[in-house]
Chains A and B, each alone.
Chain A
Amino acid sequence: MGKFINVRTEAEGTIGVIELNRPKRLNALNRKMIEEIASQMEAFDNDPRIRVIVLQGNERAFAAGADIEEMMKESPLSFELADPFAIWDRFMSVNKPVIASVSGFALGGGFELALHCDLIIAAENAQFGFPEVNLGVMPGAGGTQLLTRSIGKRKALELIWLGEHISAEVALELGVINWVVAPEIIEEETMRLAGKLADQAPIAVRLIKEAVGKAEDLPLQDGLTLERKNFYLTFDSADQKEGMQAFIEKRAAHFKGE
């Protein structure tokens, strides 16, 4: 449990929940907070019981950007030497599925944090956007790269240049997010969807995450080769045997992550 986050587990310890907890500042992200999130994510990633990680804010905000006051003191060189955004790279090496559960604002760094997650579920009242341009700067923690990979260059430019908010409905249409649900029950719906994912074969889920992740980076042939190897690798798991056996026996499979 950190200063800026609350941590708990759900569904008999299979779902690890990280809740941003800086409500008075609409969960504005500071360095310490990002570090706490990354460390907790790594802890969940290394905990064999955990199958899915959920990152959530509160009712009013997932995270409304970075801590501007903290940032105003910076110079190019102080940034370069501290390289605060490098911490964000740690999110990229998490092997388990990470779901962002977004109510209210996901702006600037908050939107970037959501984009670092694999899946995004949002409440109907969620708002996404990159307001950095309105302050004469730009996204710095992956916004231009991750949004572009998510929705393509033209739409990404529109959003990041104009700095306007988009609704959950529009974000869904653009394919930035996966699901929109009623705000009152977003936690319950998040756990329902996380639970579905937690029931899948963990090794397959992990190898799928790697292969899909690489699809955006690798030349096609390398991607196809990686996919193939990962497919072959699943045949070393007990879950592959269980999955196929259950299919033959026409029963539900029960995966152990082995």
Chain B
Amino acid sequence: MEKFETVLYEKKAGVATLTLHRPDSFNAFTPLMNKEIIVAVTDADRDSDVRCIVITGAGRAFCAGEDIGNVDEHTNHATFLRERYHPMVKALRVVSKPTIAAVNGVAAGAGMSLALLCDFRLVHHKTKFVSAFMEIGLIPDSGFIYVLPRLVGYAKALEIATLGRPISGKEAFEFGLATELVEFNEWDDAVAAFAGKIAGMPTKAFSLVKRYMMDSMHLPFEEALEQEAQAQRIAGLTEDHQEGLQAFREKRKPKFVGK
């Protein structure tokens, strides 16, 4: 396994947990952290023992985004994104396994983008999403304006992207951005339980849904239907499908292996 400096990476019972680990800086990104996230999620995606990936933050914050101390009048923002953030964003987008952002505190700026790039977001009452970009005259980046309208619809996405009002965990749960709202003192157990549930799913079928669903929002219907046919063929060839059928016939719960 790789040795990491800015993240912790552990595997347990089918769940890989990637913890952003710069608690003194609210887990703000550094160039190394961007790279280590890529390595960790890519490894987890290739590792046949892993069936679910949890991304969370150490300490009180999830991720404070980019440290704006690194941005000044000499910065070429396009180059900065292309070199620093886009490789990470692309890596997260092509991860085939289910990803869960366990948003344990503030997710600000590109840290919020990171949470948006995951398949699920778990929150508690002290979670806060802050799209801080507009406050300094910039636009939300790192995939934010592509992904958010696909998650919550255009009107809400525009509101979040431009008005910059912090969104509480409760609010995020209410309008559908977060999947579960958890009591603060039950956080670790609730995250583990949710991740455990996802890790027990038919992983291949899950990966096919996520591979095709987001892009289906901008594809012609016929093309999306063709993708559906191919994806269903692939799912139909999995062991998990056979197990699902068998369990259905035997009136028992299926035991999926992720293949």
Contact = CB atoms under 8 A, between A and B. Distances in A.
A189 interface: yes
A184 interface: yes
A185 interface: yes
A185 B229 CA distance: 11
Interface string B218-237: 00000000010011011001
A69 interface: no
Main secondary structure of the interface of B (DSSP, over half): helix
A247 B231 CA distance: 35
Interface string A72-86: 000000000000000
A173 B231 CA distance: 21
Interface string A176-212: 0000011011001100000000000000000000000
Contacts of B233: 182, 185, 188
A105 to B, nearest CB: 16
A189 B226 CA distance: 11
Nearest to A124: B211
Contacts of A181: 230
A245 B222 CA distance: 33
A189 B230 CA distance: 9
A248 to B, nearest CB: 31
A169 to B, nearest CB: 9
A182 B233 CA distance: 10
Nearest to B227: A182
A72 to B, nearest CB: 32
A184 B233 CA distance: 9
Nearest to B212: A182
Contacts of A182: 227, 230-231, 233-234
A185 B227 CA distance: 12
Residue from the set A182, A185, A188, A189 with the largest chain B CB neighbour count within 10 Å: A182
Contacts of B230: 181-182, 185, 189
B5 to A, nearest CB: 31
A177 to B, nearest CB: 15
List 8 tightest A-B contacts by C-beta distance, closest first: A182-B230, A184-B234, A185-B233, A185-B234, A182-B234, A185-B230, A181-B230, A182-B231
14 contacts: A181-B230, A182-B227, A182-B230, A182-B231, A182-B233, A182-B234, A184-B234, A184-B237, A185-B230, A185-B233, A185-B234, A185-B237, A188-B233, A189-B230
Given A184-B237, A185-B230, A185-B237, 7 more contacts: A181-B230, A182-B230, A182-B233, A182-B234, A184-B234, A185-B234, A188-B233
